Structure 1
């Protein structure tokens, strides 16, 4: 069976748990604690974005909020009726140099 290309949070937790146990044999960290740590990390990122802060993770990338201007040409996908989409914020991720270098030849 081919390995899945999807890397879920639970797989990341399992991988981190295995690596920590391997590296620090006497650690007593649990998967539940790793899960809590990851959840708290993402809450910090979401809270920062909600406060319009730029989240910079060196070697990985930058998260920030970009503003989308109001659009009058949008359409309701169910009815086809024209709708106005108000100005709103969207989460934006810009990969860092190290991440770009790691994936550069992935599809080539």
Structure 2
């Protein structure tokens, strides 16, 4: 599902809301999650999962084309861990 599909689906389920309002709500939620992760905070959505950031240390990698050693800088990456209810739902359990 893309962001625009999500906006359309929420709009269909809530006909009393204008499309521009639904779009603003979805964009605001995504922006707030992104901002929290950029600050290094953890974002937990109960029953769905938790977003966090993890630090990857600098390392020595390889260029797959040439086989030469390449220095890879340390970086911060987003990480998502599914919640228990989502895992159960995906694996056929009742929620």
User: Where does structure 2 lack aligned partners over 5 or more consecutive residues?
Assistant: none
Aligned to 1:11: 5
5 Å matches for 1:6-85?
Answer: 7-21=1-15, 27=16, 29-72=17-60, 74-77=61-64, 79-85=66-72
Aligned alpha-carbon RMSD (Å): 1.5
> Whole-Å Cα distance in 1 between the matches of residues 3 and 82 of structure 2?
20
Number of positions where the alignment pairs a residue of Structure 1 with one of Structure 2: 92
| TM, length-normalised to structure 1 | 0.77
**Deviation of residue 77 (structure 1)?**
4.7
> Whole-Å Cα distance in 2 between the matches of residues 80 and 71 of structure 1?
15
| TM, length-normalised to structure 2 | 0.86
